[in-house]
């Protein structure tokens, strides 16, 4: 049985990386999928891969007008919205705060918090009524960086901690009509998470890290040794977005490949 058969799912930031993996899995689970994506080039790529199988909308999650337009287009096309999955985000390059010029910090904060936090808040507000009408679901994306140090720099980590808290608050406010949960991924093979313009890293993505070096580090600290693809996170998002989830709201699933279950006394793997 398909997890999302007949449901309408909007994936925000679904043009690449984690979001694209979630889009592919939701389609496989029978959903009618819409995508909100800020990059015109990625919207074109969605058209090339899925044709009319996905409603691809160009828009900025930090712009209220774009979100309201996307809501109208999804409702016009499908008549309902059963779930919204938020996969948008930018990284901070894992630059230590002591290495950031003080005069750049406020700009960096504004840039990363706008996408990673304000985008989630606006999304929740704009789609609340449509989701409530369907007794639907909102699924946000946090990170293992919200649970342990060294998953990003200070600004990125602060945003992901905010999302972890926001999941609980929105679940409380939206109950019982909308289930609100989150996923906190760790490593993702081929991650396209971009860096901030404030640090001159807007053209850099996480997959620019040499694959062998990244895998070597990942395997030293993780209990599971295979770096998951974006598609492998899809089942978690699909379950939380689906009507099969009747038991969870206000929770964030930590999908860390055993990363946080680190040794205390036993030496780390060579």
Structure tokens at 219: 């395997």
Q: Which of 147, 156, 233, 237 is catalytic?
A: 156
Active-site residue flag, 78: no
Which of helix, strand or coil describes residue 139? strand
Q: Which of 111, 265, 239, 118 is nearest to 182 (CA)?
A: 239
Residue 264 has pLDDT above 70, yes or no: no
Please tell me which residue, 204 or 23, carries the higher pLDDT value: 23
Question: Which residue carries 């977005």 as its tokens?
Answer: 241
What pLDDT band is residue 194 in, cutting at 50, 70 and 90? confident
Q: Which tokens in the block code for residue 76?
A: 């016009």
Cβ(252)–Cβ(183) below 8 Å: yes
Q: DSSP labels for 150-194?
A: TSS-HHHHHHHHHHHHHHHHHHHHHTTTSEEEEEEE---TT---B
Please, are residues 37 and 20 in contact by the beta-carbon 8 Å criterion? no
pLDDT of residue 36: 98
Least confident piece of the model among 126-140, 183-197, 245-259: 183-197
pLDDT single digits (tens) 133-183: 999 999 999 998 888 888 888 999 999 999 999 999 999 999 999 999 999
Give the sign of the dihedral formed by CA 140, CA 146, CA 148, CA 149. Answer: positive
The answer to whether 202 touches 115, Cβ cutoff 8 Å, is no
pLDDT digits (tens, 9 = 90+) for 211-256: 565 556 666 666 777 778 889 999 999 999 999 999 999 999 998 8
- Per DSSP, helices labelled H in the chain are 17-28, 40-50, 64-78, 102-113, 119-133, 154-174, 211-221, 230-241
- Point out the least confidently predicted range of 41-55, 98-112, 191-205, 239-253: 191-205
So what's the pLDDT on residue 152? 84
* CA distances to 28, 52, 60, 146 from 114, in Å: 32, 31, 11, 17
CA–CA separation, 35 vs 174, rounded Å? 23
CATH class in words for 8-255: alpha beta
What does the DSSP 8-state code read for residue 36?
E
* pLDDT bracket for residue 210 (50, 70, 90): low
Q: What is the average pLDDT across 104-115?
A: 94
pTM: 0.90
Strand 8-12 to 54-58 pairing: unpaired
Distances (CA, A) of 129 to 16, 48, 178, 186: 28, 32, 9, 32
Task: Name the residue with tokens 């929105």.
Answer: 170
What are the residue boundaries of the structural domains of the chain, listed by start?
8-255
């Amino acid at each position: 049985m398909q997890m999302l058969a007949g449901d309408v799912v909007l994936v925000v930031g679904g043009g690449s990386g984690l979001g694209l993996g979630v889009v592919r899995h939701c389609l496989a689970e029978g959903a009618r999928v819409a995508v909100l994506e800020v990059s015109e080039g990625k919207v074109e790529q969605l058209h090339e891969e899925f044709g009319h199988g996905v409603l691809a909308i160009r828009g900025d999650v930090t712009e209220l007008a774009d979100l309201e337009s996307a809501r109208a287009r999804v409702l016009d096309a499908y008549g309902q919205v059963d779930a919204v999955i938020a996969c948008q985000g930018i990284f901070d390059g894992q630059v230590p705060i002591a290495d950031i010029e003080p005069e750049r910090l406020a700009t960096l904060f504004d840039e990363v918090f706008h996408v990673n936090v304000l985008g989630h808040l606006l999304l929740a507000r704009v789609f609340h009524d449509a989701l409530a009408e369907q007794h639907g679901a909102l699924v946000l994306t946090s990170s293992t960086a919200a649970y342990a140090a060294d998953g990003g720099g200070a600004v990125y980590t602060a945003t992901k901690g905010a999302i972890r808290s926001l999941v609980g608050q929105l679940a409380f406010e939206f109950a019982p009509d909308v289930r609100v949960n989150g996923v906190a991924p760790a490593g993702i093979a081929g991650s396209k998470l971009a860096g901030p313009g404030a640090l001159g890293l807007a053209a850099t993505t996480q997959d620019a890290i040499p694959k062998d070096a990244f895998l070597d580090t990942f395997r030293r600290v993780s209990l599971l040794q295979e770096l998951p693809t974006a598609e492998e996170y899809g089942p978690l998002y699909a379950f939380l977005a689906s009507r099969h989830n009747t038991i969870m709201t206000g929770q964030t699933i930590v999908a860390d490949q055993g990363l946080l279950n680190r040794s205390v006394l036993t030496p780390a793997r060579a």
